[in-house]
């Protein structure tokens, strides 16, 4: 994924945490004042993370973009991690056992190539309108989102996508598991997509309409008439060609000799 998402409202995060916790109690969120739901969130900004410690589910405000202990301060270096290898890579393997989280999003953004090679952003979200429960790893108040190979229906959009849990029960199983073996994330829920305004390609665009659907822009070629070659009016290479018409012989441009008996025969040259 390309590092843009719509961060869910605080109430949505709280409700998701309650569902993951089984609805038995209200999950605690000590640093909720640090959280800000953004329509166009990017690494370096806050996300709502659900965690489970000693069987108790609570919510944390994490900064998107993992910075391990003693690491640098660039949140763009590790804003996502491949789920297929995170359990063995040195940067993530300890967190895979003891730093699991579930991040709550409304949806995420990806770009495709449009007319004149301009990038057209698209917004992906659950088809049923429910928030996305995304597998994540966290440390030191920062987090990274796990990704997986994209489902076939979205292969036109990107080759990777977030690891999204089908339901709260599967998300809770991820939090409670402490194994160093690969976790079975199951199949993601059905997702829907639509094109959105290109204004949101700028990270500072934080208007609420960032994820609103727009009409798919027409390709530039639609404004031009097809050429003869495109319509098949011209002969294609390899087909027999009609020979050009034979040239007619050049006409004699000289004037014909004067016929006998014409008026010139009645005049004779005068002597000097």
Encode pLDDT of 179-223 as tens digits: 999 999 999 999 999 999 999 999 999 999 999 999 876 655 444
What percent of the chain clears pLDDT 70, i.e. is strictly above it?
77
Q: What does the alpha-carbon distance between residue 15 and residue 33 come to, in Å, rounded to a whole number?
A: 17
Is this prediction's pTM over 0.85?
Answer: no
pLDDT in tens, 89-137: 999 999 999 999 999 999 999 999 866 678 999 999 999 999 999 999 9
Could you tell me the sign of the dihedral formed by the alpha carbons of 215, 220, 222, 223, in that order?
A: positive
Whether 264 contacts 258, CB under 8 Å: yes
Which residues, in sequence order, are CB contacts of 76 under 8 Å at separation 6+? 3, 43, 44, 65
Per-residue pLDDT band at 24 (split at 50, 70, 90): confident
Q: What is the mean pLDDT of the chain?
A: 85
Per-residue pLDDT band at 71 (split at 50, 70, 90): low
3-state secondary structure of 191: strand
Could you tell me the sign of the dihedral formed by the alpha carbons of 92, 96, 97, 98, in that order?
A: positive
Render 3-28 in DSSP notation, one character per residue: S-EEEPPHHHHHHHHHHHTTTSSPPB
3-state secondary structure of 69: coil
């Amino acid at each position: 994924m390309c590092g843009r998402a719509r961060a869910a409202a605080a109430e949505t995060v709280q409700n998701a945490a309650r569902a993951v916790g089984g609805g038995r109690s209200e999950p605690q969120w000590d640093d909720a004042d640090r959280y800000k739901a953004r329509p166009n969130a990017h690494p370096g900004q806050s996300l709502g993370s659900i965690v489970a410690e000693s069987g108790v589910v609570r919510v944390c405000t994490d900064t998107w973009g993992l910075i391990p202990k003693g690491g640098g301060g660039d949140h763009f270096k590790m804003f996502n991690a491949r789920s297929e290898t995170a359990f063995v890579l040195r940067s993530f393997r300890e967190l895979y056992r003891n730093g699991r989280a579930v991040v709550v999003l409304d949806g995420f953004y990806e770009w495709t190539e449009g007319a004149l090679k301009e990038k057209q952003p698209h917004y992906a979200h659950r088809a049923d309108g429910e928030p996305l429960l995304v597998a994540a790893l966290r440390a030191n108040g920062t987090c990274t989102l796990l990704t997986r190979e994209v489902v076939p229906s979205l292969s036109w959009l990107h080759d990777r996508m977030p690891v999204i849990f089908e339901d709260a029960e599967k998300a809770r199983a991820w939090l409670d598991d402490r194994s160093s073996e690969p976790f079975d994330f199951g199949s993601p829920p059905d997702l829907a997509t639509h094109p959105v305004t290109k204004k949101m390609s700028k990270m500072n665009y934080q208007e609420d309409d960032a994820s609103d659907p727009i009409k798919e822009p027409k390709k530039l070629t639609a404004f031009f008439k097809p050429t003869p070659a495109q319509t098949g009016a011209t002969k294609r290479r390899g087909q027999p060609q009609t020979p050009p018409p034979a040239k007619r012989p050049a006409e004699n441009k000289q004037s014909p000799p004067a016929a006998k008996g014409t008026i010139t025969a009645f005049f004779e040259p005068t002597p000097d």
